[in-house]
Each structure stands twice: as structure tokens, then as C-alpha cells.
Amino acid sequence: MSLKYSILGLLHYQPMHGYRIKEHIEQNFGHMWSINYGQIYPNLKKMKDEALISMNEEICQGEKGPPRKLYTITDKGRAEFQRWLAESPERGMLLRDPFLMRFVFFDFGEDERSLELVDEQIQSWENQLARRYANLARWEGAGVYVRLMAELGVKTNEVLLAWLKEARQEIAAEAGLESRENVTAFLKTE
């Protein structure tokens, strides 16, 4: 389980409560982790029991909002994190994408519907790319590694998009379907 280590890593920046941790992970590791309360709270409890983090119940300390539990990383937590960080990473990359999962089987589907799904995906990845540019700007002043990571996010997204747009052309040609733009151009010259 490496959600544990994501949490320990995050707590290096500042003490946080569960709700905030979830927000951070969703914003910063959203493409790596899909997180939910059913994971976060039991994990925090377990990590507290193992003394990797400590909790102090700040009831309305900041005066605003409902009572929350602030978690701080302990020395034991830091040590455990360092041990993990210096380890050679285990098994390889997992890239699981529901679109790509289907794409690889589009040879067995209807080309017209495939093109629709491709267009939806182009839109979706364009939105994602915009969000990643925003991230890049937001982490301008952060550490080297965080910045490099944000750059990777942009780069992989750009490759994905470029590939899918090229693919679209090829699929449309193969299927004998014209893109809306080409059809319009054709009608104009007619």
C-alpha cells in the first residue's frame, strides 16, 4: 500500500486533516490515485496507531468550520518514509485508461461510433491539458522534482493528444468518412 507513503510525503509540507489530504491528493496525484474517504480515514487511524503520525484534535482552533483532526508526521514516520523513498521501486507502471482499453478493440466495433468516442476523448484530454498547464504555473516556486513532475504531466498529455488527433485522421480516411470540416470545404468549392 503506497497511499500510506503519499500521506507521509504530503505531511512533510505541513500538518493536515483528512479532508484536506484528500483534496491535495486529488489535485496533485489525481492521475495516479483515485482516493476516497473509505480509504483515507481508516488509513490515518492505522498510521496513528503505528505512531507514524500524531493527531491533535483542534476543535475550532482556527475558529472557522467544524471540528477537525490535525495530523502531524512523527520522527518514526519520517524514518519510515526515508526507508521507502530510498528503496528501488517494485513492479512497473500501470496505465489503466477506460478509453484506451476500448480503443485497442475498435477493430471489432463500428467506425462511426469509434470516431465519436475519439472526438469525445480529444475534448477530454484537451481539458485535462489545460488543467496541467495551470498546475505547472502553480508549482513554479516548488522543488525541482515537483516541477519536473508537472512538466512530465504536460508532456505526456501533449503526446497523447497529438497521437489521438493523428489517429483520428487515419481512422476517418480508412472508414471513408470525411471530417465535418472537409465536407464543408468540399461543398464550398462545389
Grid coordinates 513492479 are at which residue?
91
Based on the shown chain and the rule CB under 8 A, indicate whether residue 37 belongs to the binding site for its own copies. Answer: no
Residues 17 and 7: beta-carbon distance below 8 Å? no
Stretch that binds its own copies, among 19-27, 29-37, 42-50, 181-189 (CB under 8 A): 29-37
With a CB cutoff of 8 Å and minimum separation 6, the contacts of 4 are: 43, 47, 52
Interface residue with DNA, options 29, 41, 99, 103 (CB under 7 A): 41
Decide: is 1 part of the binding site for its own copies (CB under 8 A): no
Query: Using the rule CB under 8 A, is 56 a contact of its own copies?
Result: no
Q: Does residue 15 interact with its own copies by CB under 8 A? A: no
Please choose which of DNA, its own copies, none residue 159 contacts, taking the beta carbon within 5 to 8 angstroms, the exact cut-off set by kind: its own copies
14 binds DNA (CB under 7 A): no
Quick one: which of 26, 27, 32, 45 contacts DNA (CB under 7 A)?
A: 45
| Distance separating alpha carbons of residues 136 and 149, to the nearest angstrom | 9
CB atoms within 10 A of CB 35: 20
Q: Which of 1, 104, 137, 187 binds its own copies (CB under 8 A)?
A: 104
CA distance 180 to 83: 56
Is residue 57 helix, strand or coil? strand
d(Cα 35, Cα 4) in Å, to the nearest integer?
12
Which of residues 60 and 152 has its CB atom nearest to DNA in the complex? 60
CB atoms within 10 A of CB 73: 23
Contact indicator for 25, 10 with CB cutoff of 8 Å:
yes
User: Site mask, DNA, residues 52-81, x = CB under 7 A?
Assistant: --------x--xxxxxxx------------
Q: Which of 51, 85, 134, 183 binds its own copies (CB under 8 A)?
A: 85
